[in-house]
Every structure is written in structure tokens, then in C-alpha cells.
Amino acid sequence: MPAGYVKIRRHGLKCMVEQAYGLKVDHMYENDEGILLYTDQGIKRLIECKKEYAKLLFAVSAYQHIINKGFCQISRIMTTLQGDLWIKYERTAFILQDFVQGRVMKILTNEEAFCVGKALACYHQAAEGFVPISGCQSRVDWGRWMDKYKSNAKNMKKYMEVLTEKEDKSKFDKAFMIHGECFIKRMSEAYEILKNSGYLNKVRHAMNTNQLVHKTFRRHSILMTDAGEIFITNMEECGFDIKEYDLATLLESFSGKCKLELIKGALAGYISVAALDGDSFRMIQAFLLEPKKFYKVVDRYYGKKRNDTEPELLRKLERSIEKENRKKDVIELLETYV
């Protein structure tokens, strides 16, 4: 019975895709990244979409803008024959994207890192001047980080003050007391760097040029195609911000013994296309200094937004501390560029 149900469901979804997009689907393959469809128009990827339609429309118009500016090594969201951005099957929304044969880049050499940094700079150049189409909901992060860091540091201080008066402390409380002061200091330092490094001037420039950024430009968003070209995916969370945010996200994703050399390579690749000044490097430092993962777990615990049990949150806190500490050598390296 279950096997038959799966076949019926797959058949129904296949028929809906063919009818909606005018494709002939030969066969389907499901994996963690969605459902691959082998069609008469090439390989497509069908993925579940939980975004609101207006937000999805923003990403679609962003894809098209970048492609129109000449940067074509990105996936795009296909529209149906009726012009819709998704299809709905059994109350679930799906979007259909182009798919390329390749693999997620491991970025093991300086040369590969250089190519990735160069690709990001080219992407940023193509993403300038973006004006969303009517009816979409834009993601706008211009100027938000300085106030956010100040507010987050203040919240952590409040949690610490309440905790000092608490008699029966949990394991989570004790872990926060050991590491909290350090990360409060880092959050405050991130705020001070942005405040004193021309952050608002960068924001004004980004606003004047309508600078769009990827927002999740990590290694898992970068493919090396079978043809040997870099292909950028996962642009559904893109939004308006300064380009230094993408650079910080990319540098944070590097790991391993050679990560500092890879970071040097990525920065060299970026600079080969677009200049970065001292303030840019300070802002990248600030974005890396922010203990984002640590704060997220702490705020969930003390802010009473818990969806996890205390042992689960404690494990997440311990992992976040490890991840935040791994950024120290990257922050120190960036000091040599300032």
C-alpha cells in the first residue's frame, strides 16, 4: 500500500509538472536537494517552497536582473505556461529551477579560492542597479546591523544580570556565565567597528547604487560544473545590503588547515575585479566578530522562544561556542589588510 501510494503521488506530480511547464518528463530522482527531473528540455530541479509569493517574486526578478547584466552562471526560477512562479500539489508549493551537472566546490586550493572570490565580485557588479518589479516584497538590510549589534549586546547583559541573582543555576546557565562576557564584548566591539569605520557611508553608497547581495554566499552555494565553470545557487534569500556582508559570509565558511591561505586567495580574487578599502576590511571584521550563532541560542533560551529541550539547547550552545572561536584567526588575518 505505501509503495503504491508513492507511485500514485509521483505520477500525479509528474503530470502536473508536464502540464504546467510544457515539459516531457522522462524520469525523476529524489534527493536531499529536491526532485531532479530529466526532461526533454534538460535537467530541472523541483524543490519545495515555503516563501510567501511576494518574497519569491523578489528573488525571481533579482535572478533576471543579474542574468540581463551578463552574469549567467546562476540558476533561475522557471515560470509556468500561465506565468505562475510555483505549482501546488497536495497543499505543498513547488518551484522549478534549471539544474547543471556538477558538484559543490570544496575549495581546496588557493587557485580555486581566487576563482570564487572573483566570481563573487563579478556577481556584485551584475547585481548593482537592481529595481524590484512591482508587487514583490523586498528584503532590505541596509543600515540595520549597527543597531542590531548594540541591541543584542544589551540583551545579553540583561540575561547576565538576571542570572547572577539566580540561585539554582542550570548547566546552560553555567555555560553562559563562563562564556557570556567574552561574547558580549565581541558583540559590542562589532558595533563600535561599524560605528567608527564609515558603515553608514557604505550603506548610503549601496542605496544609491541599489546594491543587491546574495546573503548566503557559502561554499554550499557554489558549484563547479562538469564544464569547469563556477555556478551560483541558493539565491532565494537575496536582499539589499552592503557587499561586505557577502564577503564575511564566504570567509566564515572556509575551514581546515589551509583556510587562511584560502581566505587570502578569495580576497585576492575579489580585489582583482573590485577594489576594497580599509573600511571594507573593518566591516568584514565586524560581521565576523558578531557571535551570531551564540546569541541565537542564548536568546532562544532566555527569551523564552524555546522550541527545543534544555539538553538540545545546551548542545547547540556548545557547538556555537566552537564555531565562534574558529573565527578568531580569520579576524586576526583581516587586521593585516586594514
pTM: predicted TM-score of the whole model, two decimal places: 0.89
Residue 160 to residue 156: CA distance in whole angstroms: 6
Average pLDDT, the chain: 91
State the DSSP code for 109: S
Tell me the backbone φ, ψ of residue 21, rounded to 5 degrees: -105, -5
Q: Residue 268 in contact with residue 333, Cβ under 8 Å?
A: no
Please state which CATH class domain 110-143+166-335 belongs to.
alpha beta
First to last CA, the chain: 65
List, for residues 76-98, the tens digit of each pLDDT value. Answer: 889 999 999 999 988 889 999 98
pLDDT at position 2 over 50 = no
Q: pLDDT value at position 12?
A: 85
Please report, rounded to a whole number, the percentage of residues in the chain having pLDDT higher than 70. Answer: 96
Complete DSSP assignment for 235-255:
-TT-EE--THHHHHHHHHH--
Residues in the chain: 338
The superfamily CATH assigns to domain 2-99 is Phosphorylase Kinase; domain 1 (3.30.200.20)
Q: Where in the chain is the domain with CATH 3.30.200.20?
A: 2-99
Residue 74 to residue 84: CA distance in whole angstroms: 20
pLDDT at position 207 over 90 = yes
How many CB atoms sit inside 10 A of residue 79's CB?
15
List, for residues 98-114, the tens digit of each pLDDT value. Answer: 888 888 888 899 999 99
Of 118, 125, 123, residue with least CA distance to 233 = 123
pLDDT band at 129 (very low <50, low <70, confident <90, very high): very high
